[in-house]
Amino acid sequence: MRIGIFGGSFDPVHNGHIAMIESAMKSGFIDCVIIIPSVRNSFKLYTNKLPPPYRLYMMKETVEGLSLKNCFVSDVEFDIEGVSYTAVVLAKLTSEEYIRDFLIANGVKRKKAEEHHDFFWIMGSDTLGSFETWYKPGEILNFVTLLAAVRPGDGTDVDKAKASIEKNLGGKVGIFRLNGIECSSSGITGSGDFSEVPAPAREFIARHALYSDNTMLSGISDDARKKFFESAVWMYHYLGGKRLLHTLNVGYLSAHLAGVFGCDKDKALIAGALHDCAKELPLDQQLEKAKKYSGELFTEKKLLHSPAGATFAKEQFGIEDPEILDAICYHTTGRGDMTLLEKIVYLADKIEPSRNYTDLTPIREAAEKDLESAMRMTAAAVKDKFVSQGRDIHPMTLLMMRDLGM
């Protein structure tokens, strides 16, 4: 097959990206497109607005929602350590075994997936001019033909750039016409006008309350920001999409609540983001890790992931701060004498934007003003649920409720 590859931050994806994909498909150069949301772009290390998993799943929902044919979204950069240079990504993606498995996993027939493939790197004409300054451009051209989009009325001297690349690097460059509007992700997030964002992505953004004040990470240190982004990439390997986005949402909301109630925002961001990191580990591993952190305190299956998460975050992700680890450990049950950080993570877990198990509006409103009252409302709902299910409330939760005057 002739495979086009389209990499970018997609922060967020917009109609310009979609036009690029559709025009490339119509150009006659390619049979399908693989879209690669960036993980650690060399130009934008940790400066993206959203950590990589949001941008990956937003793109997946967009491709599916718009029914873009022969369009596949790749998570290849999640498996690359360090900066995801194009040359490094292409070496991995285009290797015989990797591309075969990827295509089959995306519904391509085995016979087709095993054929010889030609690869094309889809780019804007504006980036073609600077291509020779990229990391190992000659190596990139060993894997792909460049495919540059030219807009009607484009001012770039594409022919000159093409001739220079072909002469200096010996690569091939194809040119195709781009029919589409001109917009940019930074323009969209800067203006707050999301009309050029495709509907499925807009729904995704609304569901997770992204690009809002709570997700700006204002007042967060560079180190915590980096940890947050890296934790998202780390947990990608252990959690399904829905759970991963939930746990990251809790990070954002915890940081926001920390700002409201005078807690350490950095710690809240990291504790919240990591709180469910162990939730999808096999039960025997959860049990072993839970015991390591809190002995026999938690034995119920549903509760194991909390203390197990503390061990997991410590041993595999290098979190040493005991306050953060305790907030992870007690996020499901609460306990007596909870710290402010523990309360915040406990509450944020129950009410982050994508939670919709019941009408959470009153608790969300209370959470902006009075932490304890919001916690009482949450605990009351938990109690009702347990009573209706005939389950015993954990002794630690009873202690929390006692402290809340319930």
The residue among 94 and 247 lying less far from Fe ion, judged by its C-beta, is 247
Taking the CA of residue 82 as centre, how many other CA atoms within 13 Å lie in the half-sphere pointing to its CB?
4
- Number of residues near Fe ion (by CB under 5 A): 2
| CB-count burial class (<10 Å; 0-12, 13-18, 19+) for 104 | middle
Distance CA 102, CA 116 (A): 14
Q: Mask: binding to Fe ion, 120-159, rule CB under 5 A, as x and -?
A: ----------------------------------------
The residue among 316 and 354 lying less far from Fe ion, judged by its C-beta, is 354
Q: Write down the least CB distance from residue 366 to Fe ion, Å.
A: 19
- Of 165-173, 178-186, 187-195, 341-349, the window that binds Fe ion (rule: CB under 5 A) is 341-349
Distance of CA 313 to the CA centre of its chain: 18
The residue among 10 and 330 lying less far from Fe ion, judged by its C-beta, is 330
Identity (one letter) of the amino acid at 245? L
Q: Which residues of 206-223 are buried (b: 16+ CB within 10 A; e: fewer)?
A: eebbbbeebbebeebeee
Q: Write down the least CB distance from residue 285 to Fe ion, Å.
A: 16
Q: Write down the least CB distance from residue 343 to Fe ion, Å.
A: 15
End-to-end C-alpha distance for the chain, whole angstroms: 65
Q: Write down the least CB distance from residue 349 to Fe ion, Å.
A: 4
Q: Write down the least CB distance from residue 217 to Fe ion, Å.
A: 20
Q: Write down the least CB distance from residue 364 to Fe ion, Å.
A: 16
Q: Write down the least CB distance from residue 70 to Fe ion, Å.
A: 36
Sheet with 32-37, edge to edge strand ranges: 71-73, 32-37, 2-8, 118-124, 144-150, 173-177
- How many other CB atoms sit within 10 Å of the CB of residue 264? 18
Sign, CA torsion 81/278/313/219: positive
- Scan for tokens 């498909």, then name that residue: 25
Distance CA 103, CA 216 (A): 36
Report whether 73 contacts 106 (CB < 8 A).
no
The residue among 250 and 377 lying less far from Fe ion, judged by its C-beta, is 250
The residue among 141 and 313 lying less far from Fe ion, judged by its C-beta, is 313
- Of 162-170, 184-192, 202-210, 345-353, the window that binds Fe ion (rule: CB under 5 A) is 345-353
Preceding omega of 12 cis (within 30 degrees of 0): yes
Q: Mask: binding to Fe ion, 49-88, rule CB under 5 A, as x and -?
A: ----------------------------------------
Residues 264-303 that bind Fe ion (CB under 5 A): 276
The residue among 162 and 331 lying less far from Fe ion, judged by its C-beta, is 331
- Taking CB under 5 A as the criterion, the residue among 244, 278, 349, 375 binding Fe ion is 349
The residue among 143 and 298 lying less far from Fe ion, judged by its C-beta, is 298
Confirm or reject binding of residue 196 to Fe ion (CB under 5 A).
no
The residue among 266 and 349 lying less far from Fe ion, judged by its C-beta, is 349
The DSSP bridge pattern shows strands 144-150 and 173-177 to be parallel
The residue among 263 and 327 lying less far from Fe ion, judged by its C-beta, is 327
Q: Write down the least CB distance from residue 275 to Fe ion, Å.
A: 6
Distance of CA 196 to the CA centre of its chain: 21
Q: Write down the least CB distance from residue 346 to Fe ion, Å.
A: 10
Binding site for Fe ion (CB under 5 A): 276, 349
